[in-house]
Structure formats: C-alpha cells, structure tokens
Amino acid sequence: MTVSKAAAVDATKASRAARKEPAEVDADGAALQLGELSELLGYSLKRAQLRVFEDFLCCVAPLQLTPAQFSVLLLLDRNPGRNQTEIANTLGILRPNFVAMLDGLESRDLCARMRSTNDRRSHIVVLTDKGRAVLARAKKLVAAKHEARLNELLGPANRAALLAMLARIASEF
C-alpha cells in the first residue's frame, strides 16, 4: 500500500529495470514470449499498478508525496476527529507501521497528533493548515497531470469501467 521515499526522489531512476517492457528487444535482438503470462490478470494488474504509482510519484514530485502519504492526507481531510487506528485500518496499514508514517508527515508539519479528551489513549490526527495547502496542490497536480493522462489514454467511459471493476475485485473477489 506504500511506496519508497527514495523512489519519490527519483522515480525514473529507481525503476529503470522494471520499466523495460516485455516486448523490448534483448541483446541478441529477440524478445521473449510472454505466453500465458499475458492472460494472467494478476500479472498485468501488478505491472499496471507499478507504472501508475511511478507516474503518480513523478507528477507529485514537487510536493514530495508518495501515493500512501497522499491517501493519508485525503483521508484526514475527509474524516476529521479520527484516531490513528481508524485511519490506518481504513487504508490497510498496520498500526505499528503507521507510527513512522505519521512521524514523517508530522515532522513536515502536514498533520498533528492531538490527545483525545474523551479517551486519553487515543491520538486524534488533524491536518494542519500547511497540510491542507499541500493536499490542495497535490490534488491539482494529480488531476491535471496524472489522472488526466490516464483519462486520455483510456477515454472517460473506459476509465470509469476500469475503476468500477478494480473496486469490485478489491471488495467482492
């Protein structure tokens, strides 16, 4: 669910090898046959996901946000007053792993932990003003550069159909 910060710094360099496409020729000039691999949904799913995350990283590079960090900011903005466990669970991040992730965002003053008055064990996670500003800029970059290109590649109808099928797989498969 997350992406390396090193990759965020230099997405193109970080996955140069993975970018080599199946059909690309090798040293001797003969590309290998993918065979049944190209009919395996999981295989194409994985390669498409890597490519999309790579492009996301590229598009949001000025803001230094990974897909995972962006998803946290989005969720905080939409769900104020929630604690770490609730945010982490919703994103499929394990609570122990969410600690360092929040530390990173908090150290950049994008969000803050606040002790809940109801339950002093809980940390309510809030977006800071800077966090809201960065999120707003990130949304614009994602919409204008990232999602726009996907829309262009697939067409709006196909893009919607793709999204619906992916959501269906994630929730019903």
Partner DNA sequence: TATTGTTATACTCTATAACTATA
Partner DNA sequence: TATAGTTATAGAGTATAACAATA
**If binding is defined by CB under 7 A, does position 83 make contact with DNA?**
yes
> By CB under 7 A, what part of segment 116-145 binds DNA?
119-123
Closer Cβ to DNA, 78 or 120, answer by number: 120
Residue 66 binds which entry of a copy of itself, DNA, none, CB below 5-8 Å type-dependent: DNA
Question: Least distance to a copy of itself from the beta carbon of 145, Å?
Answer: 12
Lay out the site mask for a copy of itself across 8-47 (x = CB under 8 A, - = otherwise).
---------xxxxxxx--xx---xxxxxxxxxxxxxxxxx
d(CA 118, CA 103): 23
Pairing of strands 123-127, 111-115: antiparallel
> By CB under 8 A, what part of segment 46-85 binds a copy of itself?
46-53, 55-56, 67, 71, 74-75, 77-79, 82, 85
Closer Cβ to a copy of itself, 82 or 123, answer by number: 82
- Give the torsion through C-alpha atoms of 30, 31, 36, 41, to 10 deg: 180
Which residue, among 1, 116, 128, has the nearest Cα to 76 in the 3D structure?
128
Single out the segment in contact with DNA by CB under 7 A; choices: 4-12, 33-41, 130-138, 140-148.
Answer: 4-12
For the chain, counts of helices (H) and of strands (E)? 10, 2
Element holding 73 (H helix, E strand): helix 67-78
**If binding is defined by CB under 7 A, does position 27 make contact with DNA?**
yes
d(CA 134, CA 63): 7
Instruction: Please give the distance of CA 160 from its chain centroid, rounded to a whole number.
Output: 18
Lay out the site mask for DNA across 33-72 (x = CB under 7 A, - = otherwise).
---------------------------------x-x----
**If binding is defined by CB under 8 A, does position 150 make contact with a copy of itself?**
yes
Burial class (CB in 10 A: 0-12, 13-18, 19+), 69: buried
**If binding is defined by CB under 8 A, does position 165 make contact with a copy of itself?**
yes
